[in-house]
Amino acid sequence: MDKGYSTLLTVSVGDPQTAKGYGVGAAALIGSVAEEASQRRKARQRLMAFERSLRNIDGAKARRIRRSNLGRTRLACASNRDRARLVQQIGVALNQLFAAHPDLSVLHVEHLRFRGSKFSRPMRRRLARWLKGHLQRSLEYKAQLHGVRLNVVNASWTSLTCPRCGYPSRNNRSGKRFVCGSCRYTGGADAVAATNILARGSDRDITRYMRKERVEQILVSRWRSALTGGAWDSNAENDGRSASSRERLVVSTARPAFRSQTLSGSQSPQ
């Protein structure tokens, strides 16, 4: 399962073409909530500026405005209503997911972390309303309620790696669209990420907390070795080797077999 911003949950059973999304249109609701909250904050700032301008002109009126808490109570109530709307959307998406897969036993999910400030200020405001923490807690609760085991995997490069040929590249993804630069496979980025997370669930070489640079090295070595028809040796130290040397590494291209009731999941924007 891939957890996302535009679509809350995207689930794959091994084929990106049959992946299904739950909580579709989340970006529209989150964007609407963030915009309304921004407008309310600006209105309160204007009220505060107006109160300051009245202090030396009409002290009684300024005191009445201060007694009304400068709109802080109204702002808090509106914020609680916004959060309730987002929480409801998460609950509906999770209920639909588990209702659609009653025989689910294992759910592979991504370990997502956001670092730095690579997003614009408006985007950071929208992401702050994403409630990804509540989504994770609700997922854990629902999984336990339905007897489903959550397997958390490393999310690095899951939305940038081709599920068909294994080619990893940042140029493979453009927004929601995925186009492989090697085999020209096309699909939805969320569906590709969910499918790769499913495969990552049984990958013994890529661990949960492995650095993304090391994950990239492993994926590139596998793809290069697949071009030569060899089998990749996970014990070989690839760091510092030349490209021609990496191409001669032994790489396993066989994809693991998954049970039909085992699903996968992917913390982005990558």
Length of the chain in terms of residues written:
270
Q: Is residue 256 part of a domain?
A: no
d(CA 1, CA 22): 10
Cβ burial 198-215 (10 Å sphere, 16+ → b, else e)? bbbbeeeebeeeeeeebb
Q: What confidence tier does 232 reach under pLDDT thresholds 50, 70, 90? A: low
Domain tally, the chain: 1
The boundaries of the domain holding residue 205 are 2-210
Is residue 232 within 8 Å of residue 249, measured between CB atoms? yes
Q: Is residue 262 part of a domain?
A: no
User: Is the model's pLDDT at 180 over the cut of 80?
Assistant: yes
Instruction: Assign 3-class secondary structure to 237-263.
Output: CCCCCCHHHHHCCCCCCCCCCCCCCCE
pLDDT digits (tens, 9 = 90+) for 150-175: 999 999 999 999 999 999 999 999 98
Q: Is residue 98 part of a domain?
A: yes
Which residues does 111 contact at the CB level (< 8 Å), separation at least 6?
152, 153, 154, 155, 208, 209, 267
d(CA 142, CA 201): 20
Q: What is the pLDDT of residue 201?
A: 92
Q: Is residue 270 part of a domain?
A: no
**Which comes out higher in pLDDT, residue 51 or 249?**
51
Q: Is residue 107 part of a domain?
A: yes
Handedness of CA 158, 164, 166, 170 (dihedral sign): negative
Q: Is residue 126 part of a domain?
A: yes
pLDDT digits (tens, 9 = 90+) for 39-93: 888 888 888 888 888 888 888 888 887 777 776 777 788 888 888 999 999 999 9
Q: Is residue 90 part of a domain?
A: yes
Q: What is the pLDDT of residue 113?
A: 66
User: Is the model's pLDDT at 233 over the cut of 70?
Assistant: no
Q: Is residue 57 part of a domain?
A: yes
User: Is the model's pLDDT at 178 over the cut of 80?
Assistant: yes
Average pLDDT over residues 195-203: 94
Q: Where are the alpha helices (DSSP H) in the chain?
A: 26-54, 59-67, 72-100, 121-128, 132-145, 189-200, 212-228, 243-247
Residue type, 155: A
Is residue 220 within 8 Å of residue 246, measured between CB atoms? yes
